[in-house]
Amino acid sequence: LLCNLALKFGEGDDDDDDDDDDDDMMMMMMMMMMMMMMMMMMMMMMMMMMMMMMMMMMMMMMMMMMMMMI
């Protein structure tokens, strides 16, 4: 669909065709950047969750140790 639209709109001069191609490339780049950002965010979230879990585990271990001591 996108290709067809580009072809329809790019029926003017050759320069217009080139411009359309550039625009398509830009769109692709933007999409790639967005995907990368989303992936990074997901990774960060996962890391945060892991850190939280680790902290919770440490706290639990500490509590257990304290209980044992008492």
Report if pTM > 0.85. Answer: no
Residue 60 lies in a domain: no
What's the pLDDT at 21? 64
Determine the structural domain holding residue 19 and report its residue range. 1-43
The type of residue at 64 is M
Q: Which two tokens stand for residue 32?
A: 């790639």
Residue 63 lies in a domain: no
Residue 34 lies in a domain: yes
| Cβ atoms of residues 17 and 10 within 8 Å | yes
Number of structural domains found in the chain: 1
Residue 64 lies in a domain: no
DSSP at 12 = S
Mean pLDDT of the chain: 78
Residue 48 lies in a domain: no
What's the pLDDT at 16? 46
